[in-house]
Structure 1
């Protein structure tokens, strides 16, 4: 989920969706700076199974798709739904988030390459597990870009960009900020973005934009701005599914089109009435959108899982 959307929401009680097994299997990945944690959603039937690595978006979004200001359970539901169809899923807390928080000593040290390297380490762990056959990847929002950065070395057998950017992050951020900020504040944010694009950090930023442009996160943004998702998409040789929602107010269907235009072998699907958190919301009006960011009991859009299941059943079949 992109940092530019500042939604102040009251947390609702978490309602667990039915699991294919009573409990997910907890997984640990040791790194030089600490342990990363994830949950494996495993099919009920005996393996071996194909497996999918599921990566959350930006900010403090955990393996379930939740954070301090949002409660959707969307990634937990995706993982369990795929497992119910015979596809194992590893959902991870990225470095600095959830149970993996201690593995990130300093926020200013993280780069997009840091997360991509972690993806490669998780991939190695899964490929060395005899329970699994082929390996796929789903990146939600910014997680899709991280997957594209890692894809060349990860050699995924299939990859999904789920509401992921197709244009440079700074372009998407400008779009979001222009819609959500008063003119004067937007001008200040645009000036900051211009400096970060040039690789220069900014000392003085407006307090109202501190969550997005705090000094400790600026090096990460600079590293993100160097990556063009569409250019990265041209190098994807594996089966590639690009999914967007028509009522996504954070990453538009334009981004999906950019990815599809860059990689003409990919399948591009825009789901009518699906928003950024993968729920059914018919309109883009914020008052209509807000409840879906705080109600984990809401189901996924009914057309999403058939697309994911069909894609992976075909692309990850065999050994």
Structure 2
């Protein structure tokens, strides 16, 4: 039992909650008062509103003009010509047109929302989401109010210019799809056929394997165990850029490696395609055509850096991981009388992605 003169007991008996604490517990937290609404110049001056509206639809029509220019630049500087100057101008002016179109569209939309749309502030209370008729009616009312506040329905110039700018901004992208494959012509009836284009490269019987990009022929003795060479046909160096150099190189690039002969697991058909453990495979990934250029000499795996497809060099570059649908095409090789590595023939199948229709 506590002593009647215990000071702690007297303190407990005399303690009472303070009035300030009681208010803090019982009263809800109130948000600070919002500052008074400041009217914009466009709300005060009709002339300023007219100028803002004119600025918005001018930006939208500028976006339309830039989209049209991007399409025109694609035609004025055709990349099919093969000339470097046309490729550079095509990239420059098409890119500038698309950039200006999207920039003008974005600035116009921001200026519309900040200077023309309704500037009224309101508080929208939360409520449970329901699918009743009253909810649908409220949604319709909200869209109607949004239309009224934005002026989308009654400001015809802004509405029409926005629609035109959005539609036109898509046109350059659609136009660029034309460059995915050349069109057929009387002089080249297979120009638009990707299967035909990818079925034939510059490799042919007797073509020497050369270093990329120097074009120096490679002797079999130079290919050591664990090494990897980036290879092109020796004849490729004779082509100029205006004669399809880049196109032919993109199809003919090869990766050359040397393993111990007993490490290769070859089918009867392909036993003669390698030379003393040296094998050559297309560098063009069979997924979407990225260059397969990363070789891991311990596991003998080739890696495509784009989507991480992996190929096993010891088993005919078979796919062991990733989205690639088929092995890398193998280039049959041999050695000539001077010890240089040569191709026995072209690839026995089309190089490149597997999404083309193949026969």
Question: Do both proteins adopt the same fold according to a TM-score greater than 0.5, normalized to the shorter chain?
Answer: no
Higher-Rg structure is 2
Higher percent of residues as strand: 1
TM-score scaled to structure 2, two decimals?
Answer: 0.21
TM-score scaled to structure 1, two decimals?
Answer: 0.23
Higher percent of residues as helix: 2
